[in-house]
Amino acid sequence: MAVSQNISTSFVGKRAPDFSLDCTQQPTEPGWTTRLSDFLDRWLILIFYPQDFSLICPTELTALSDCVTDLAESNTSVLAVSADSIETHERWIATPALKGGLGHIRFPLASDPGGTVAQKFGVYAIAQKVAHRGLFIIDPNSIVQYQSLHNLNVGRSASEIMRVLKALQMGGLCAENWTPGDSQIELLPAVKPGARVAQFRIIRQLGQGGMGAVYLAEDENLKRKVALKLLPPHMTRDPVAKTLFMNEALSAAALSHPNIVTIFDVTEQAGQIYLVFEYMDGKTLHDLIYSNALSAMQALEFARQICKGLEYAHSEGVIHRDLKSSNILSDSSGNVKIGDFGLAMSKNGASYIIDGALMGTLHYQSPESTRGDTTDARSDIFSLGVVLYELFCGKLPFTGEYDEAVVYSICNEQPDPGRLESEFCTQLREIIFKALEKEVDERYQSVDALSHDLDSLRDGELQRT
């Protein structure tokens, strides 16, 4: 990839700037608005390009579009951004390639009129009023892991982007001529369909987060499908990271409840630690929320189930500490279960802060967690309040363009009542806002109390008429 200059600000290792962009993918389908928060727990390749109907842009975008299936298997989304309008995007997509158009595209194009978002990322060419060819690879925790800026007149190689992404996901160094088949760099071996880890045959990757990759696998001894979570080797060497991962097994394996994902086994083999737990055949709560797939009554039923699972964990002395919508899984029968106890603890203690960074997903953290103060079960209740707000409002209650702004919002601002005020009964709003109280002593003191109030809601009175 030809690099012409450095981006004016280095974002690597920092949270990506928030954005809100109108998108389209097919002229015959309605557009939508996408935000950075939509990509939590997924990798994102964020591409800025100069202009529709240009000579070079179609080549690089269509080449990357051909990689979408492979990207989906590695839990990665693509978003391409230019200053063109949605109408221009749609016309470009509808125009055949032989006539200078883009034709079919398998990821969305976003409109950034005026270059507002491009300026946030430091890639706006003011004189030309277009974006430079900026490339950002953002991890599932919204942290920028790679960035580069290219000459306006030079295209990008899709294979090069894939090479860098693969190296980042494996947690290894990325030499200039490295390819996934090279063995001289110490990386987590590519776990592909058909590969075997102990008695488990890999079927496909389900997702990847800060604490490891998760795969659907077949237990060939017990003839059942399971979810397999592998900790990357570079984290295995980190005693803190290793302890966090082992805590997930030790804490969750002791729990047995219909609304908690069951842990089957945890083991270490040849330096590789892996966790085996039950496979849930549905979507995450996050996916259900942002695809508008839930009715109000389904949302209330899921809320009640989440409360029951968390209430049981607390009764067993286990505090989750990373509760969020993407850690709550559904099955085909309409049930939800809490998973990913990677930061769980069995007693009160300080928040995990490693190398100055808060462990856990920032948008769901309680005020005391963001300060590094002592936390207890009531911190989980705040996170539960965030999930409930997200469940009924379709958005996060606390946002900001950078981490400090999010922390300020969590600690000082009241969420916008939004749909809680316009669509739902007053009692539901009161329940959620009580869970989101800034002061620990003003919050619900137990999930049992919150669950009791939810159960008192009559189904027919949930929504305003």
**How far apart are the C-alpha atoms of 328 and 122, rounded to whole Å?**
35
41, 84, 322, 340: which is the annotated catalytic residue? Answer: 322
Q: 49: closest CA among 101, 2, 5, 115? A: 115
Q: CA dihedral defined by 130, 132, 135, 141, rounded to 10 degrees?
A: -50
Residue that the structure tokens 């329940």 belong to: 431
Contact status, residue 288 vs residue 280, Cβ threshold 8 Å? no
- The angle that helices 377-393 and 447-455 make with each other, rounded to 10 degrees, is 30
Work out whether the CA dihedral 97, 103, 108, 113 comes out positive or negative: positive
Rg for the chain, CA atoms, rounded: 23
Contact status, residue 263 vs residue 277, Cβ threshold 8 Å? yes
Burial call 209-230: b when 16+ CB within 10 Å, e when fewer:
bbbbbbbbbbbeeeeeebbbbb
In 311-399, the DSSP E strands lie at 328-330, 336-338, 349-350, 353-354, 357-358, 374-375
Contact status, residue 339 vs residue 327, Cβ threshold 8 Å? yes
Number of separate helices (H) and strands (E) present in the chain: 15, 21
- Tokens representing 190? 């590519």
Phi-psi region of 360 (alpha: psi -120 to 50; beta: other; left: phi over 0): left
Any catalytic annotation for residue 322? yes
Kindly give the pairing relationship between strand 76-82 and strand 109-111.
parallel
Phi-psi region of 173 (alpha: psi -120 to 50; beta: other; left: phi over 0): beta
Cβ-based neighbours of 220, under 8 Å, separated by 6 or more: 199, 200, 201
Residue that the structure tokens 């030809």 belong to: 2
Please give the positions annotated as active site. Answer: 322
